[in-house]
Chain A
Amino acid sequence: DVKVTQSSRYLVKRTGEKVFLECVQDMDHENMFWYRQDPGLGLRLIYFSYDVKMKEKGDIPEGYSVSREKKERFSLILESASTNQTSMYLCAAGTAFYGYTFGSGTRLTVV
């Protein structure tokens, strides 16, 4: 099974800070995804990547960017954190055919 590791379970950042959320998978999987989860809204796709240095916008990319320099690592970047980016962030790897494996999530609070 693919294992997906998110570096932080909880983060508290200040408004305007640049924030990096890291995600690592332990298999040679091409597809990786970043979602945010908010009550009543479910999971919303922020960005995804099909390969190294490739990225595609999801449904809510505004205020975010991503980096995929190595196949196993997919980073989500909040260029200038705002309070409306307080959320649970979930990283995933896998395919829509077989299903995704998710990390344990990072709960980000922006104050």
Chain B
Amino acid sequence: AQKVTQAQTEISVVEKEDVTLDCVYETRDTTYYLFWYKQPPSGELVFLIRRNSFDEQNEISGRYSWNFQKSTSSFNFTITASQVVDSAVYFCALSEDHTGNQFYFGTGTSLTVIP
């Protein structure tokens, strides 16, 4: 079973629109960590955010915000007023406390922002 599901394979938005990327995870651990990475066309995955399972506070960083809801096992990512530079593939990932150093990645959401 997929531990991290990103149901949206591809999304296209017009510049300045808001867009939300969905991430649903599955774990039986009480301690776990959630991440979002951005992969621009250059190929390198860039770390965006880390959240542990005990911290359900939403996070805002400039135009980016993250909504962590344990009740629905979701960790969604919203870009406000999207820009062309936001065009990338975005990956959600989960690590569980008992598995040591392994990540479980979702299959990614490809976001295209149209000027």
The CA-CA distance from A40 to B8 in the complex, in Å, is 11
Bound CA span A101–B96, Å:
18
User: How many residues of A sit at the interface, in one of the four size bands?
Assistant: 20 to 34
Q: Which residues of B contact A101 (CB under 8 A)?
A: 47
- Please give the distance in Å from A15's CB to the nearest CB on chain B: 24
Q: Which residues of A contact B46 (CB under 8 A)?
A: 102
B45 pairs with A90, CB closer than 8 A: yes
Contacts from B to A (Cβ < 8 Å): 9, 33, 35, 37, 42-47, 50, 91, 95-96, 99-103, 105-108
| Docked-complex contact B43 and A105, CB < 8 angstroms | yes
Chain B nearest Cβ from A100, distance in angstroms: 7
CB <8 Å contact, B101 and A50: yes
New A-B contacts (4) at CB < 8 Å, excluding given A97-B95, A98-B50, A104-B44: A96-B96, A96-B100, A96-B101, A99-B50
| Bound CA–CA A40/B107 (angstroms) | 6
Contact residues in B for A48 (Cβ distance below 8 Å):
101-102
The interface centre, meaning the residue of B47, B91, B101 with most chain A CB atoms within 10 A of its CB, is B101
Q: Which residue of B lies closest to A105 (CB)?
A: B43
